[in-house]
Structure 1
Protein backbone atom coordinates (compact mmCIF):
# COMPACT_ATOMS: atom_id res chain seq x y z
CA UNK A 1 0.00 0.00 0.00
CA UNK A 2 2.78 2.42 0.99
CA UNK A 3 4.75 1.66 -2.17
CA UNK A 4 1.69 2.32 -4.35
CA UNK A 5 1.21 5.71 -2.63
CA UNK A 6 4.86 6.56 -3.21
CA UNK A 7 4.64 5.54 -6.86
CA UNK A 8 1.43 7.49 -7.46
CA UNK A 9 2.64 10.70 -5.80
CA UNK A 10 6.11 10.36 -7.26
CA UNK A 11 4.71 9.99 -10.78
CA UNK A 12 2.44 13.01 -10.38
CA UNK A 13 5.31 15.15 -9.10
CA UNK A 14 7.61 13.99 -11.91
CA UNK A 15 4.97 14.96 -14.48
CA UNK A 16 4.49 18.35 -12.82
CA UNK A 17 8.21 19.13 -12.61
CA UNK A 18 8.86 17.68 -16.07
CA UNK A 19 6.05 19.70 -17.64
CA UNK A 20 7.35 22.91 -16.08
CA UNK A 21 10.91 22.04 -17.10
CA UNK A 22 10.02 21.37 -20.76
CA UNK A 23 7.73 24.42 -21.03
CA UNK A 24 10.42 26.77 -19.72
CA UNK A 25 13.09 25.29 -22.01
CA UNK A 26 10.86 25.60 -25.09
CA UNK A 27 9.87 29.17 -24.24
CA UNK A 28 13.49 30.12 -23.62
CA UNK A 29 14.42 28.85 -27.10
CA UNK A 30 11.71 30.84 -28.88
CA UNK A 31 12.10 34.12 -26.99
CA UNK A 32 15.90 33.82 -27.16
CA UNK A 33 15.91 35.43 -30.61
CA UNK A 34 15.36 38.82 -28.95
CA UNK A 35 18.48 40.62 -27.69
CA UNK A 36 17.83 43.23 -25.02
CA UNK A 37 19.87 45.78 -23.12
CA UNK A 38 19.74 45.15 -19.39
CA UNK A 39 20.90 48.67 -18.57
CA UNK A 40 18.24 50.30 -20.77
CA UNK A 41 15.57 48.00 -19.33
CA UNK A 42 16.51 49.00 -15.78
CA UNK A 43 16.96 52.66 -16.78
CA UNK A 44 20.61 52.87 -15.71
CA UNK A 45 23.73 54.08 -17.51
CA UNK A 46 25.81 51.57 -19.44
CA UNK A 47 29.11 50.71 -17.81
CA UNK A 48 31.11 50.41 -21.06
CA UNK A 49 34.01 48.81 -19.16
CA UNK A 50 36.71 47.63 -21.59
CA UNK A 51 37.26 43.86 -21.52
CA UNK A 52 38.65 41.56 -24.23
CA UNK A 53 39.43 44.68 -26.25
CA UNK A 54 35.78 45.82 -26.37
CA UNK A 55 33.43 47.95 -24.30
CA UNK A 56 31.46 45.65 -22.01
CA UNK A 57 27.71 46.12 -21.71
CA UNK A 58 24.84 43.80 -20.86
CA UNK A 59 23.31 42.86 -24.22
CA UNK A 60 21.49 39.65 -23.37
CA UNK A 61 19.34 37.07 -25.07
CA UNK A 62 15.79 37.16 -23.71
CA UNK A 63 16.21 33.44 -23.03
CA UNK A 64 18.29 34.27 -19.95
CA UNK A 65 15.03 35.19 -18.21
CA UNK A 66 14.03 31.50 -18.17
CA UNK A 67 17.24 29.46 -18.36
CA UNK A 68 18.10 29.90 -14.66
CA UNK A 69 14.66 28.43 -13.88
CA UNK A 70 15.42 25.44 -16.12
CA UNK A 71 18.69 24.72 -14.33
CA UNK A 72 17.09 25.04 -10.89
CA UNK A 73 14.35 22.64 -12.00
CA UNK A 74 17.14 20.29 -13.09
CA UNK A 75 18.54 20.29 -9.56
CA UNK A 76 15.16 19.63 -7.95
CA UNK A 77 14.45 16.74 -10.33
CA UNK A 78 18.00 15.49 -9.71
CA UNK A 79 17.39 15.51 -5.97
CA UNK A 80 14.31 13.28 -6.09
CA UNK A 81 14.68 11.30 -9.32
CA UNK A 82 18.42 11.07 -9.84
CA UNK A 83 20.51 11.30 -13.04
CA UNK A 84 18.22 8.96 -14.98
CA UNK A 85 15.26 11.26 -14.46
CA UNK A 86 17.22 14.34 -15.53
CA UNK A 87 18.74 12.60 -18.55
CA UNK A 88 15.33 11.36 -19.68
CA UNK A 89 13.82 14.85 -19.47
CA UNK A 90 16.88 16.50 -21.04
CA UNK A 91 16.90 14.29 -24.13
CA UNK A 92 13.11 14.46 -24.37
CA UNK A 93 13.27 18.27 -24.20
CA UNK A 94 16.05 18.44 -26.81
CA UNK A 95 13.98 16.24 -29.12
CA UNK A 96 10.86 18.35 -28.60
CA UNK A 97 12.80 21.59 -29.24
CA UNK A 98 14.17 20.13 -32.48
CA UNK A 99 10.66 19.00 -33.45
CA UNK A 100 9.23 22.45 -32.65
CA UNK A 101 11.81 24.19 -34.83
CA UNK A 102 11.17 21.71 -37.65
CA UNK A 103 7.44 22.50 -37.54
CA UNK A 104 8.14 26.22 -37.41
CA UNK A 105 10.48 25.99 -40.42
CA UNK A 106 7.70 24.22 -42.34
CA UNK A 107 5.12 26.87 -41.45
CA UNK A 108 7.53 29.62 -42.53
CA UNK A 109 7.49 28.17 -46.05
CA UNK A 110 3.67 28.35 -46.27
CA UNK A 111 2.39 31.09 -48.57
CA UNK A 112 0.66 33.76 -46.46
CA UNK A 113 -3.01 34.47 -47.04
CA UNK A 114 -4.20 37.95 -47.99
CA UNK A 115 -6.15 37.96 -44.74
CA UNK A 116 -2.88 37.51 -42.88
CA UNK A 117 -1.21 40.35 -44.78
CA UNK A 118 -4.11 42.80 -44.59
CA UNK A 119 -5.30 41.95 -41.10
CA UNK A 120 -2.05 42.87 -39.40
CA UNK A 121 -0.74 46.23 -38.22
CA UNK A 122 2.75 45.13 -39.30
CA UNK A 123 3.64 46.26 -42.86
CA UNK A 124 5.06 42.83 -43.76
CA UNK A 125 3.52 40.38 -41.32
CA UNK A 126 5.04 37.32 -43.00
CA UNK A 127 8.55 38.80 -42.84
CA UNK A 128 7.99 39.60 -39.17
CA UNK A 129 6.82 36.02 -38.56
CA UNK A 130 9.92 34.68 -40.32
CA UNK A 131 12.19 37.07 -38.43
CA UNK A 132 10.85 36.11 -35.00
CA UNK A 133 10.50 32.34 -35.42
CA UNK A 134 13.04 31.58 -38.14
CA UNK A 135 16.18 31.25 -36.06
CA UNK A 136 19.27 30.16 -37.96
CA UNK A 137 20.30 26.51 -38.06
CA UNK A 138 23.56 27.15 -36.21
CA UNK A 139 21.75 29.00 -33.42
CA UNK A 140 19.56 25.92 -32.93
CA UNK A 141 22.55 23.56 -33.03
CA UNK A 142 24.50 25.75 -30.62
CA UNK A 143 21.58 26.08 -28.24
CA UNK A 144 20.80 22.35 -28.15
CA UNK A 145 24.48 21.44 -27.73
CA UNK A 146 24.93 23.93 -24.90
CA UNK A 147 21.71 22.74 -23.25
CA UNK A 148 22.74 19.06 -23.24
CA UNK A 149 26.31 19.76 -22.09
CA UNK A 150 24.99 22.02 -19.34
CA UNK A 151 22.50 19.39 -18.17
CA UNK A 152 25.10 16.62 -18.03
CA UNK A 153 27.52 18.83 -16.09
CA UNK A 154 24.79 19.93 -13.70
CA UNK A 155 23.90 16.32 -12.87
CA UNK A 156 27.50 15.22 -12.29
CA UNK A 157 28.52 18.22 -10.16
CA UNK A 158 25.26 18.13 -8.16
CA UNK A 159 25.76 14.53 -7.02
CA UNK A 160 29.47 14.94 -6.35
CA UNK A 161 28.67 17.81 -3.99
CA UNK A 162 25.82 15.83 -2.41
CA UNK A 163 28.14 12.90 -1.65
CA UNK A 164 30.15 15.32 0.49
CA UNK A 165 27.31 17.34 2.09
CA UNK A 166 24.67 14.62 2.39
CA UNK A 167 21.20 16.06 2.95
CA UNK A 168 22.61 19.30 4.35
CA UNK A 169 23.46 22.50 2.46
CA UNK A 170 20.90 22.21 -0.34
CA UNK A 171 21.96 25.65 -1.57
CA UNK A 172 25.55 24.53 -2.11
CA UNK A 173 24.86 21.58 -4.41
CA UNK A 174 22.00 23.28 -6.22
CA UNK A 175 23.54 26.72 -6.73
CA UNK A 176 27.07 25.35 -7.15
CA UNK A 177 26.13 22.92 -9.92
CA UNK A 178 24.01 25.58 -11.61
CA UNK A 179 26.79 28.16 -11.62
CA UNK A 180 29.28 25.76 -13.22
CA UNK A 181 26.86 24.38 -15.82
CA UNK A 182 25.66 27.87 -16.80
CA UNK A 183 29.26 29.03 -17.22
CA UNK A 184 29.74 26.43 -19.95
CA UNK A 185 26.25 26.98 -21.40
CA UNK A 186 26.72 30.75 -21.73
CA UNK A 187 29.78 30.44 -23.97
CA UNK A 188 29.15 27.21 -25.91
CA UNK A 189 25.93 28.45 -27.54
CA UNK A 190 27.54 31.71 -28.72
CA UNK A 191 30.75 30.04 -29.87
CA UNK A 192 28.90 27.50 -32.04
CA UNK A 193 26.15 29.81 -33.31
CA UNK A 194 28.15 32.92 -34.13
CA UNK A 195 31.81 31.90 -34.36
CA UNK A 196 32.08 28.31 -35.66
CA UNK A 197 28.80 28.14 -37.64
CA UNK A 198 29.30 31.16 -39.93
CA UNK A 199 32.90 30.09 -40.62
CA UNK A 200 31.79 26.58 -41.67
CA UNK A 201 29.05 28.10 -43.82
CA UNK A 202 31.50 30.48 -45.45
CA UNK A 203 29.49 33.45 -44.12
CA UNK A 204 32.55 35.20 -42.71
CA UNK A 205 30.78 38.57 -42.88
CA UNK A 206 28.29 37.30 -40.27
CA UNK A 207 30.93 35.74 -38.05
CA UNK A 208 31.51 37.25 -34.63
CA UNK A 209 35.03 37.92 -33.45
CA UNK A 210 36.35 35.91 -30.52
CA UNK A 211 36.20 39.09 -28.43
CA UNK A 212 32.49 39.55 -29.22
CA UNK A 213 31.77 35.99 -28.12
CA UNK A 214 33.69 36.46 -24.87
CA UNK A 215 32.13 39.86 -24.05
CA UNK A 216 28.57 38.71 -24.74
CA UNK A 217 29.09 35.38 -22.97
CA UNK A 218 30.52 37.16 -19.93
CA UNK A 219 27.47 39.41 -19.71
CA UNK A 220 25.12 36.43 -20.02
CA UNK A 221 26.96 34.52 -17.30
CA UNK A 222 27.15 37.42 -14.85
CA UNK A 223 23.39 37.84 -15.21
CA UNK A 224 22.75 34.10 -14.72
CA UNK A 225 25.16 34.04 -11.78
CA UNK A 226 23.32 36.82 -9.96
CA UNK A 227 19.87 35.36 -10.74
CA UNK A 228 20.93 31.90 -9.56
CA UNK A 229 22.03 33.36 -6.22
CA UNK A 230 18.82 35.38 -5.87
CA UNK A 231 16.72 32.30 -6.56
CA UNK A 232 18.32 30.27 -3.75
CA UNK A 233 15.33 30.92 -1.42
CA UNK A 234 13.03 29.55 -4.17
CA UNK A 235 14.92 26.25 -4.06
CA UNK A 236 14.19 25.94 -0.33
CA UNK A 237 10.54 26.87 -0.86
CA UNK A 238 10.11 24.17 -3.52
CA UNK A 239 11.95 21.59 -1.42
CA UNK A 240 9.74 22.47 1.56
CA UNK A 241 6.59 22.06 -0.53
CA UNK A 242 7.75 18.66 -1.85
CA UNK A 243 8.61 17.49 1.67
CA UNK A 244 5.10 18.39 2.81
CA UNK A 245 3.59 16.74 -0.29
CA UNK A 246 5.36 13.42 0.29
CA UNK A 247 5.83 13.60 4.03
CA UNK A 248 9.34 13.46 5.48
CA UNK A 249 9.64 9.67 5.53
CA UNK A 250 8.46 9.19 1.93
CA UNK A 251 10.59 12.10 0.71
CA UNK A 252 13.66 10.60 2.41
CA UNK A 253 12.98 7.20 0.83
CA UNK A 254 12.67 8.73 -2.66
CA UNK A 255 15.87 10.77 -2.26
CA UNK A 256 17.77 7.74 -0.93
CA UNK A 257 16.55 5.76 -3.94
CA UNK A 258 17.83 8.50 -6.26
CA UNK A 259 21.25 8.46 -4.55
CA UNK A 260 21.48 4.65 -4.62
CA UNK A 261 20.99 4.72 -8.41
CA UNK A 262 23.94 7.14 -8.66
CA UNK A 263 26.17 4.76 -6.73
CA UNK A 264 25.19 1.66 -8.72
Structure 2
Protein backbone atom coordinates (compact mmCIF):
# COMPACT_ATOMS: atom_id res chain seq x y z
CA UNK A 1 0.00 0.00 0.00
CA UNK A 2 2.68 2.48 1.01
CA UNK A 3 4.71 1.58 -2.08
CA UNK A 4 1.72 2.42 -4.29
CA UNK A 5 1.44 5.84 -2.63
CA UNK A 6 5.15 6.62 -2.86
CA UNK A 7 5.44 5.38 -6.43
CA UNK A 8 2.43 7.31 -7.73
CA UNK A 9 3.76 10.69 -8.78
CA UNK A 10 0.49 12.61 -8.45
CA UNK A 11 0.08 11.50 -4.83
CA UNK A 12 3.72 12.13 -3.99
CA UNK A 13 3.51 15.61 -5.48
CA UNK A 14 0.37 16.40 -3.46
CA UNK A 15 2.10 15.32 -0.25
CA UNK A 16 5.14 17.48 -1.03
CA UNK A 17 3.12 20.55 -2.00
CA UNK A 18 0.75 20.05 0.92
CA UNK A 19 3.63 19.71 3.37
CA UNK A 20 5.21 22.97 2.20
CA UNK A 21 1.80 24.67 2.20
CA UNK A 22 0.95 23.74 5.79
CA UNK A 23 4.52 24.35 7.03
CA UNK A 24 4.62 27.85 5.52
CA UNK A 25 1.20 28.70 6.97
CA UNK A 26 2.28 27.52 10.44
CA UNK A 27 5.63 29.35 10.33
CA UNK A 28 3.98 32.55 9.06
CA UNK A 29 1.59 32.50 12.03
CA UNK A 30 4.35 31.93 14.56
CA UNK A 31 6.87 34.50 13.30
CA UNK A 32 4.10 37.02 12.61
CA UNK A 33 4.30 38.30 16.18
CA UNK A 34 7.39 40.32 15.16
CA UNK A 35 6.86 43.70 13.46
CA UNK A 36 9.78 44.77 11.30
CA UNK A 37 10.68 47.84 9.29
CA UNK A 38 10.93 46.91 5.62
CA UNK A 39 12.76 50.12 4.72
CA UNK A 40 15.38 49.82 7.46
CA UNK A 41 15.85 46.12 6.66
CA UNK A 42 16.73 47.23 3.13
CA UNK A 43 19.07 49.94 4.41
CA UNK A 44 16.66 52.80 3.67
CA UNK A 45 15.06 55.50 5.75
CA UNK A 46 11.38 54.79 6.54
CA UNK A 47 8.84 56.45 4.30
CA UNK A 48 6.40 58.96 5.75
CA UNK A 49 3.11 58.36 3.96
CA UNK A 50 -0.20 60.13 4.52
CA UNK A 51 -3.27 58.00 3.82
CA UNK A 52 -6.88 58.58 4.84
CA UNK A 53 -5.82 61.34 7.23
CA UNK A 54 -3.26 59.14 9.01
CA UNK A 55 0.28 60.59 9.03
CA UNK A 56 3.73 59.03 9.22
CA UNK A 57 2.79 55.66 7.80
CA UNK A 58 5.68 53.38 6.81
CA UNK A 59 6.16 49.77 5.79
CA UNK A 60 6.13 48.30 9.29
CA UNK A 61 5.00 44.75 8.59
CA UNK A 62 4.60 41.48 10.45
CA UNK A 63 7.35 38.98 9.75
CA UNK A 64 4.63 36.64 8.50
CA UNK A 65 4.34 38.63 5.25
CA UNK A 66 7.61 37.03 4.17
CA UNK A 67 5.86 33.67 3.85
CA UNK A 68 2.23 34.45 2.99
CA UNK A 69 3.08 35.20 -0.67
CA UNK A 70 4.67 31.73 -0.83
CA UNK A 71 1.48 30.22 0.61
CA UNK A 72 -0.62 31.87 -2.07
CA UNK A 73 1.76 30.74 -4.84
CA UNK A 74 1.43 27.19 -3.52
CA UNK A 75 -2.35 27.69 -3.43
CA UNK A 76 -2.42 28.49 -7.14
CA UNK A 77 -0.16 25.56 -8.05
CA UNK A 78 -2.26 23.12 -6.01
CA UNK A 79 -5.38 24.67 -7.51
CA UNK A 80 -4.04 24.06 -11.02
CA UNK A 81 -3.39 20.35 -10.56
CA UNK A 82 -5.73 19.27 -7.74
CA UNK A 83 -8.63 21.69 -8.00
CA UNK A 84 -10.76 23.39 -5.39
CA UNK A 85 -11.15 20.28 -3.25
CA UNK A 86 -7.37 19.95 -2.89
CA UNK A 87 -6.92 23.57 -1.81
CA UNK A 88 -9.86 23.43 0.60
CA UNK A 89 -8.58 20.23 2.20
CA UNK A 90 -5.16 21.75 2.84
CA UNK A 91 -6.62 25.09 3.97
CA UNK A 92 -8.86 23.41 6.56
CA UNK A 93 -5.96 21.21 7.65
CA UNK A 94 -3.68 24.25 8.05
CA UNK A 95 -6.28 26.10 10.15
CA UNK A 96 -6.85 23.04 12.35
CA UNK A 97 -3.12 22.56 12.91
CA UNK A 98 -2.58 26.27 13.64
CA UNK A 99 -5.35 26.16 16.24
CA UNK A 100 -3.84 23.01 17.70
CA UNK A 101 -0.42 24.68 17.85
CA UNK A 102 -1.81 27.73 19.66
CA UNK A 103 -3.55 25.48 22.19
CA UNK A 104 -0.21 23.77 22.84
CA UNK A 105 1.48 27.18 23.13
CA UNK A 106 -1.15 28.20 25.68
CA UNK A 107 -0.43 25.06 27.69
CA UNK A 108 3.30 25.58 27.37
CA UNK A 109 3.35 29.18 28.59
CA UNK A 110 1.29 28.26 31.66
CA UNK A 111 3.60 25.46 32.79
CA UNK A 112 5.59 26.34 35.91
CA UNK A 113 9.21 26.82 34.87
CA UNK A 114 12.09 25.02 36.54
CA UNK A 115 13.85 27.25 39.08
CA UNK A 116 17.00 27.61 36.97
CA UNK A 117 15.35 28.11 33.59
CA UNK A 118 14.33 31.83 33.67
CA UNK A 119 18.04 32.72 34.02
CA UNK A 120 19.44 29.82 31.96
CA UNK A 121 20.25 32.10 29.02
CA UNK A 122 22.90 33.87 31.12
CA UNK A 123 26.26 32.10 31.07
CA UNK A 124 27.70 32.29 34.61
CA UNK A 125 31.24 31.97 33.23
CA UNK A 126 30.94 35.35 31.51
CA UNK A 127 32.21 38.52 33.21
CA UNK A 128 29.61 40.25 35.35
CA UNK A 129 29.39 43.16 32.93
CA UNK A 130 28.50 40.75 30.08
CA UNK A 131 25.93 38.98 32.26
CA UNK A 132 24.37 42.31 33.14
CA UNK A 133 24.23 43.31 29.48
CA UNK A 134 22.23 40.13 28.78
CA UNK A 135 19.93 40.83 31.74
CA UNK A 136 19.31 44.34 30.40
CA UNK A 137 18.01 42.78 27.19
CA UNK A 138 16.16 39.77 28.63
CA UNK A 139 15.98 39.52 32.39
CA UNK A 140 13.49 36.64 32.53
CA UNK A 141 13.54 33.91 29.88
CA UNK A 142 10.13 32.59 30.94
CA UNK A 143 8.51 36.03 30.63
CA UNK A 144 10.04 36.51 27.18
CA UNK A 145 8.71 33.07 26.19
CA UNK A 146 5.20 34.12 27.21
CA UNK A 147 5.44 37.39 25.30
CA UNK A 148 6.56 35.71 22.07
CA UNK A 149 4.22 32.73 22.05
CA UNK A 150 1.27 34.26 23.85
CA UNK A 151 -0.30 36.14 20.95
CA UNK A 152 -3.58 37.90 21.66
CA UNK A 153 -6.81 36.01 21.01
CA UNK A 154 -8.15 38.64 18.61
CA UNK A 155 -4.97 38.51 16.54
CA UNK A 156 -5.21 34.73 16.28
CA UNK A 157 -8.89 34.86 15.32
CA UNK A 158 -8.33 37.65 12.80
CA UNK A 159 -5.39 35.91 11.18
CA UNK A 160 -7.17 32.55 10.84
CA UNK A 161 -10.43 34.03 9.54
CA UNK A 162 -8.54 36.20 7.04
CA UNK A 163 -6.46 33.23 5.89
CA UNK A 164 -9.47 30.98 5.35
CA UNK A 165 -11.53 33.66 3.57
CA UNK A 166 -8.53 34.57 1.43
CA UNK A 167 -7.99 30.95 0.42
CA UNK A 168 -11.62 30.37 -0.54
CA UNK A 169 -11.71 33.59 -2.57
CA UNK A 170 -8.42 32.70 -4.26
CA UNK A 171 -9.84 29.32 -5.31
CA UNK A 172 -13.04 30.83 -6.68
CA UNK A 173 -11.36 33.63 -8.66
CA UNK A 174 -8.71 31.24 -10.02
CA UNK A 175 -11.31 28.89 -11.49
CA UNK A 176 -13.50 31.69 -12.83
CA UNK A 177 -10.53 33.09 -14.75
CA UNK A 178 -9.46 29.64 -15.95
CA UNK A 179 -12.97 28.88 -17.21
CA UNK A 180 -12.88 32.12 -19.18
CA UNK A 181 -9.36 31.80 -20.60
CA UNK A 182 -8.68 28.05 -20.70
CA UNK A 183 -5.04 26.99 -20.44
CA UNK A 184 -3.79 30.39 -21.58
CA UNK A 185 -2.62 33.22 -19.33
CA UNK A 186 -1.30 31.33 -16.30
CA UNK A 187 -0.15 34.67 -14.89
CA UNK A 188 -3.68 36.10 -15.07
CA UNK A 189 -5.41 33.35 -13.10
CA UNK A 190 -2.55 32.82 -10.64
CA UNK A 191 -1.45 36.39 -9.97
CA UNK A 192 -4.95 37.83 -10.46
CA UNK A 193 -6.54 35.48 -7.92
CA UNK A 194 -3.73 36.24 -5.46
CA UNK A 195 -4.19 40.00 -5.84
CA UNK A 196 -7.93 39.73 -5.15
CA UNK A 197 -7.61 37.35 -2.20
CA UNK A 198 -4.72 39.28 -0.63
CA UNK A 199 -6.75 42.49 -0.85
CA UNK A 200 -9.51 40.89 1.23
CA UNK A 201 -7.01 39.23 3.58
CA UNK A 202 -5.17 42.51 4.27
CA UNK A 203 -8.26 44.24 5.63
CA UNK A 204 -10.08 41.34 7.31
CA UNK A 205 -7.19 40.51 9.64
CA UNK A 206 -6.74 44.14 10.71
CA UNK A 207 -10.47 44.73 11.12
CA UNK A 208 -10.93 41.73 13.41
CA UNK A 209 -7.65 41.98 15.33
CA UNK A 210 -7.48 45.73 15.87
CA UNK A 211 -10.81 47.40 15.05
CA UNK A 212 -12.86 44.83 16.98
CA UNK A 213 -10.15 43.59 19.32
CA UNK A 214 -8.19 46.73 20.18
CA UNK A 215 -10.55 49.66 19.47
CA UNK A 216 -8.41 51.16 16.71
CA UNK A 217 -10.08 53.81 14.59
CA UNK A 218 -11.46 52.66 11.24
CA UNK A 219 -9.34 55.17 9.29
CA UNK A 220 -6.15 53.85 10.94
CA UNK A 221 -7.11 50.24 10.17
CA UNK A 222 -7.86 51.09 6.54
CA UNK A 223 -4.66 53.13 6.12
CA UNK A 224 -2.47 50.32 7.49
CA UNK A 225 -4.40 47.86 5.33
CA UNK A 226 -3.54 49.89 2.23
CA UNK A 227 0.16 49.93 3.15
CA UNK A 228 0.13 46.15 3.73
CA UNK A 229 -1.63 45.56 0.43
CA UNK A 230 0.89 47.66 -1.49
CA UNK A 231 3.58 45.27 -0.25
CA UNK A 232 1.52 42.16 -1.04
CA UNK A 233 0.59 43.51 -4.48
CA UNK A 234 4.26 44.10 -5.27
CA UNK A 235 5.29 40.64 -4.05
CA UNK A 236 2.53 38.96 -6.07
CA UNK A 237 3.90 40.57 -9.23
CA UNK A 238 7.51 39.77 -8.34
CA UNK A 239 6.66 36.09 -7.75
CA UNK A 240 4.82 35.65 -11.06
CA UNK A 241 7.91 34.19 -12.80
CA UNK A 242 8.21 31.70 -9.92
CA UNK A 243 4.78 30.31 -10.85
CA UNK A 244 5.94 29.66 -14.41
CA UNK A 245 9.12 28.01 -13.11
CA UNK A 246 7.13 25.80 -10.75
CA UNK A 247 4.78 24.78 -13.57
CA UNK A 248 7.74 23.82 -15.75
CA UNK A 249 9.27 21.68 -12.99
CA UNK A 250 5.96 19.95 -12.23
CA UNK A 251 5.20 19.29 -15.90
CA UNK A 252 8.65 17.75 -16.27
CA UNK A 253 8.15 15.61 -13.17
CA UNK A 254 4.64 14.39 -14.02
CA UNK A 255 5.02 14.13 -17.76
CA UNK A 256 2.83 15.94 -20.28
CA UNK A 257 0.08 13.30 -20.40
CA UNK A 258 -0.42 12.94 -16.64
CA UNK A 259 -0.14 16.72 -16.07
CA UNK A 260 -2.78 17.42 -18.72
CA UNK A 261 -5.12 14.82 -17.24
CA UNK A 262 -4.70 16.22 -13.71
CA UNK A 263 -5.40 19.78 -14.88
CA UNK A 264 -8.46 18.63 -16.77
CA UNK A 265 -9.85 16.83 -13.72
CA UNK A 266 -8.95 19.75 -11.45
CA UNK A 267 -10.86 22.16 -13.68
CA UNK A 268 -13.89 19.89 -13.62
TM-score (norm 2): 0.90
CA distance in 1, matches of 2:39, 2:224: 14
CA distance in 2, matches of 1:232, 1:224: 12
CA distance in 1, matches of 2:19, 2:52: 40
CA distance in 2, matches of 1:259, 1:6: 25
Q: Which residue of 1 aligns with 2:127?
A: none
What is the total number of aligned residue pairs between the two structures?
249
2:177 paired residue among 161, 182, 188: 161
CA distance in 2, matches of 1:248, 1:127: 55
From the superposition, tell whether residues 133 and 167 of structure 1 become closer, same or farther in structure 2 (CA, over 3 Å).
same
CA distance in 1, matches of 2:5, 2:141: 52
Q: Which residue of 2 aligns with 1:36?
A: 36
Q: Which residue of 1 aligns with 2:213?
A: 197
Per the alignment, in what secondary structure is the counterpart of residue 112 of structure 2?
coil
Kindly indicate whether the alpha-carbon contact (under 8 Å) linking 1:194 and 1:208 is maintained by their aligned counterparts in 2: yes
CA distance in 1, matches of 2:68, 2:38: 16
Kindly indicate whether the alpha-carbon contact (under 8 Å) linking 1:158 and 1:173 is maintained by their aligned counterparts in 2: yes
CA distance in 2, matches of 1:169, 1:35: 36
TM-score (norm 1): 0.91
Per the alignment, in what secondary structure is the counterpart of residue 81 of structure 2?
helix
Per the alignment, in what secondary structure is the counterpart of residue 151 of structure 2?
coil
Per the alignment, in what secondary structure is the counterpart of residue 18 of structure 2?
helix
Q: Which residue of 2 aligns with 1:209?
A: 217
Question: Gaps spanning 5+ residues in structure 1: where?
Answer: 199-206
Decide which structure has the larger Cα Rg and report it: 2
**1:215 Cα deviation after fit:** 1.9
Question: Gaps spanning 5+ residues in structure 2: where?
Answer: 123-137
Q: Which residue of 2 aligns with 1:222?
A: 230
**Within 5 Å, which residues of 2 pair with 1:110-129?**
110-121=111-122, 122-129=138-145
Kindly indicate whether the alpha-carbon contact (under 8 Å) linking 1:6 and 1:250 is maintained by their aligned counterparts in 2: no
**1:6 Cα deviation after fit:** 11
**1:166 Cα deviation after fit:** 0.8
CA distance in 1, matches of 2:209, 2:5: 46
Q: Which residue of 1 aligns with 2:188?
A: 172
After superposition, give the CA deviation of every residue in 1:5-39 in whole Å (9 maximum; x if it has no partner): 99811110000000000000000000111111111
Kindly indicate whether the alpha-carbon contact (under 8 Å) linking 2:37 and 2:46 is maintained by their aligned counterparts in 1: no
Moved over 6 A (4+): 4-7
Per the alignment, in what secondary structure is the counterpart of residue 60 of structure 1?
strand
After superposition, give the CA deviation of every residue in 1:74-101 in whole Å (9 maximum; x if it has no partner): 0000000000000000001000000000
